[in-house]
Amino acid sequence: MRKSILTLLAATLIAAACSAGEGWVKVEGNKFVDPQGNELVFRGLCFSDPVKLVRAGQWNERYFAEAADWGANVVRFAVHPTNLNAMGWEETFQAMDQGVAWAKQYGMYVIMDWHSIGNLKEEKYTSPMYNTTQAETFKFWRTVAERYKDEPTVALYELFNEPTVTGTGECTWEEWKELQEQIIDTVRVHNPNAVCLCAGFNWAYDLTPVAEAPIDRPNVAYVSHPYPMKRSEPWEPQWEQDFGFVADTYPVICTEIGFCLEDEPGAHIPVMSTDVYGEHITKYFEQKGISFTVWCFDPNWAPMLFSDWDFTPTTQGRFFKAYLQDQAK
C-alpha cells in the first residue's frame, strides 16, 4: 500500500513532538497552531463510528492508511453513546487506543467526537441511537481527558456533535454556553492542553450567538456543519452571516461537510447537491482559513465518500479525494 513521503514526514514530526511532551496543538487568535508555532489548517475525514467499524471488521490499519492516502491530516472518531454502551466502555476505548496509534503512525491528528444529536440540557434527542445524559456526557469527557492526557495526537475534543432544539425541548444559548463551559472545565482538570470544540444550534450550523456571547474559556474553537441545503445559493453571503464571521476572531472547524447527488444512495435533506457545492465551500474555507472534515468515510452512512470496502470513491469521494491530495502536496 502506497505511503507517501509527506505522510511519513508528518508521522515522524507528530511522533517527535509527542515524545518531547510539547506536541499539543494550540489556539492562537483565530488560528490553530502546531507544536512549532506554525498555522495548522485541518483537512480530513469523518469516520463513521469505531464500534460500527469494529463490528464490520474494518477498524484496522488498512482503513487508516487509506485515509492518509486520501490526503487527510486529521480523522474524526464519531462515538455514538448507544454503540459505546453496547460494546462496553473499556472494549471501545481499547479499540480507539489502537486507532489513535494508527492515526499517529500515518501522520494524522484525531478529533474525539461525542456523537449525539439533540438537546443535552433537557436530555431529549432526535433518535434513540443518540440517547445520553448529562452525567454520561461528563463521564465520557473525563474518561477521554484522563486516558489521552499525554497523547497530543488526540488534539481536538468535540463536546457534542449536533445540538438542536427543533422538536427536542427548550434551551437558550446562554444555557448551552454554560453547559459547554462546565464540560470544558471537567476536561481541563485532567487535560489542560486539549482544544475543545463548541457547536451552535440548528444541528451545529448556527454560530450567530457567538458574536455577543462567546464561550468564556481559552483554547477553544467553534464548529459548524454547513451542508449544502442549509442555505440556498448564493451560499457565501449566508455562510458568512451564519458561521464564517466567527473565523475572523476564533478558529472554526467544520467537522461535517459533504454532498451526494439526488439519485445516489442515501440522498436526503440537507446533503443533496453536486460538485458545485464542493468547489464553493472549499474555496470559501481557503479564503477564511477554516478547517474541515468530510462526512463520511464509510460505504453505508450518507453522504458516503466511497461505495465499497475497496474504497471506490463516490461522486463526492472523487471530488474530496482529489482536493485533499492536492492540498497535502
Tell me, which fold does domain 5-327 have in CATH? TIM Barrel (3.20.20)
Asked whether residue 12 carries a pLDDT value surpassing 70, the answer given is no
- Which of 244, 238, 228 lies closest to 277 in space, CA to CA? 228
Asked whether residue 266 carries a pLDDT value surpassing 90, the answer given is yes
Cβ atoms 103, 50 nearer than 8 A: no
What torsion, rounded to 10 degrees, do the Cα atoms 242, 243, 245, 247 define?
Answer: 180
- Which of 39, 118, 12, 104 lies closest to 289 in space, CA to CA? 39
Give pLDDT, residue 22. 61
Chain segment 275-305, per-residue pLDDT in tens? 999 999 999 999 999 999 999 999 999 999 9
Confidence of residue 321 (pLDDT cuts 50, 70, 90): very high
Cβ atoms 77, 99 nearer than 8 A: yes
Please report, rounded to a whole number, the percentage of residues in the chain having pLDDT higher than 90: 93
Give pLDDT, residue 76. 99
First to last CA, the chain: 18
Please report, rounded to a whole number, the percentage of residues in the chain having pLDDT higher than 70: 93
Query: Alpha carbon of 189 to those of 83, 137, 146, 177, 282: distances in Å?
Result: 27, 15, 9, 19, 36
Chain segment 126-185, per-residue pLDDT in tens? 999 999 999 999 999 999 999 999 999 999 999 999 999 999 999 999 999 999 999 999
Between CA 56 and CA 32 the distance in angstroms is 34
Confidence of residue 75 (pLDDT cuts 50, 70, 90): very high
Chain segment 14-28, per-residue pLDDT in tens? 444 443 336 999 999
Coil, strand, or helix at residue 74? strand
Average pLDDT rounded to a whole number, residues 85-104: 98
Give pLDDT, residue 17. 42
Cβ atoms 250, 220 nearer than 8 A: yes
Q: How many Cα atoms within 13 Å fall on the side-chain side of residue 222? A: 32
Chain segment 34-62, per-residue pLDDT in tens? 999 999 999 999 999 999 999 999 999 99
Mean pLDDT of the chain: 94
Q: List, as own/partner pairs, every contact residues 31-37 make where C-beta atoms lie below 8 angstroms and the sequence separation is at least 24, other chains included.
A: 31/251, 31/289, 32/195, 32/221, 32/251, 32/253, 32/291, 35/152
**Which residue is it, cell 453522504?**
303
